[in-house]
A and B are shown apart, each in its own frame.
Chain A
Amino acid sequence: MSQTKVLLVDDEVEFVSALAERLQLRNYEVKTANSALEALGLIHGFLPDVVILDLRIPGMDGIETLRTIKKLDPTIEVIMLTGHGDMKSVEEGLQGGAFEYIMKPVDIGEITAKIDKAQKKRNKG
């Protein structure tokens, strides 16, 4: 069975790199991006199954990034990373085609469960 490809998008470099390593240790293929533009640039080459996207990335708005990803490839599942109290953006994201959301700081068990669920949905679709 092939590895699930995960693209992690967050401007907190150290957070992304530690989380990426933890996912790699759990057998996921992971690439990281620290801005929306970098993430969009990786979509074609890396072809991720799941994108974990921080809604508060500087520059392009997180929701706008989500919509652009879904436009580029509607089969990519997007899991939003968000803070508490940001439920308005979460609702907007879910309406914009996001699969799920996770609150920061994340629980590794929760994040892998959601990635696997997203991959299962993608395989069915």
Chain B
Amino acid sequence: MENKQEQALRLLQLRFIGKILAGFTHEIKNHMAIVKESAGLMGDMIKLGKTVGDDSSQYLEIIRSIEEQTEKSIVHFRYLNGFSHRMDTPLSSFNINDCLEELTALVHRFANQKRITLEKDFRKDLPSINSSPAILQFLVFNFLEDKMSRLDKNSSIIIKTEVINGSVAIRIIPEGNLLETETEITLCPHEMNDYAIKILTGTISTQGQETVITLPIAAA
């Protein structure tokens, strides 16, 4: 039974990684498209004899745009690099805020498609926890994906972190009209979330539309 659950979890994790990569490549492709068009436009202007002369402002504006897109791509690459290294070891001591920051940056594109805003309300001095960051990102993604699929356009989801009774709590709070459904829209079954939280030695609870993931703080 344990082995079957493990296999199912790996398959769903692969699906999750695929989704993250699809969103990432889409984002980078858009930055590259802007860089390509901006460079092409400068080339066109030079070929067509639009000399810099006294007014170099348009050229400077295009260069600024290229720099900005390159910087955005670098930031996004950093997030993907961090995300990839979350899987280096099954267990590690990590900061939940950093872990969630990375995840929200990588799922931002999916939220944007539905005009859903992901709002972060992270407690600043959150203690580290000793657990599996890769499984935690997978679990939070499942809840985000489920809520995003059921929320109306122009809604928001607040991701809040706090310390409650010696544990770190991650609250996923949908703000907007959330479609109530008996059948699960997300492809990740409840049992897998239960299995994932068991690995994390935490708990999952719901308060209205809100999902709360609670994880024990690492012993000093």
Question: Residues of A with Cβ closer than 8 Å to B?
Answer: 12, 14-15, 18-19, 21-22, 25, 56, 58-59, 83-85, 104-106, 108
In the complex, residue of chain A having the shortest beta-carbon distance to the beta carbon of B39: A18
Question: A18 and B40: CB pair below 8 A?
Answer: yes
Contacts A15-B34, A18-B41 supplied; 5 other A-B pairs, CB < 8 Å: A14-B38, A21-B41, A21-B44, A25-B48, A105-B29
Question: B11 within 8 Å of A by Cβ?
Answer: no
A14-B65 contact, Cβ under 8 Å, with A59-B153, A104-B30: yes
Show 25 A/B contacts (Cβ-Cβ < 8 Å), sorted by A.
A12-B33, A14-B34, A14-B37, A14-B69, A15-B37, A18-B37, A18-B38, A18-B62, A19-B37, A22-B37, A22-B44, A25-B44, A25-B45, A58-B112, A58-B114, A59-B115, A59-B153, A83-B29, A84-B29, A104-B30, A105-B32, A105-B33, A105-B37, A106-B36, A108-B40
B26 at the interface (CB under 8 A from A): yes
Contact (Cβ within 8 A) A104 B44: no
Nearest opposing residue in chain B for A15, CB measure: B34
Against A, the Cβ 8 Å flags (1 = close, 0 = not) of B6-31 are 00000000000000001001100110
CB neighbours (8 Å) of B25 from chain A are 83-85
Q: Which residues of A contact B41 (CB under 8 A)?
A: 18, 21-22
User: CB of B113 within 8 A of chain A?
Assistant: yes
**With contacts A58-B113, A85-B22 known, is A105 near B36, CB below 8 A?**
yes
Which of A18, A56, A59, A108 has most B Cβ within 10 Å?
A18
Inter-chain contact count A-B, CB under 8 Å? 56
| Docked complex Cα distance between A84 and B26 (Å) | 8
The prevalent SS among residues of B at the interface is helix
* Interfacial chain B residues near A14, Cβ < 8 Å: 34, 37-38, 65, 69
Q: In whole angstroms, how far apart are the Cα atoms of A48 and B153 in the complex?
A: 29
CA distance A25 to B48 in the complex (A): 8
- Complex-state Cα separation, A26 to B37, whole angstroms: 14
Residue of chain A at shortest CB distance from B109: A56
Q: How far is the CA of A76 from the CA of B22 in the complex (A)?
A: 32
Contact B26 A56 (CB under 8 A): yes
Residues of A within 8 A of B115 (CB): 58-59
A104 to B27 Cα, complex, angstroms: 11
Tell me the complex Cα distance, A104–B48, Å.
25
Q: Flag if B113 contacts A56 (CB, 8 Å).
A: yes
Q: Which residues of B have CB within 8 Å of A21? A: 41, 44
- Contact status B33-A15, CB under 8 Å: yes
A15 shortest CB reach to chain B, Å: 5
Closest Cβ of chain B to A60, distance in Å, is 9
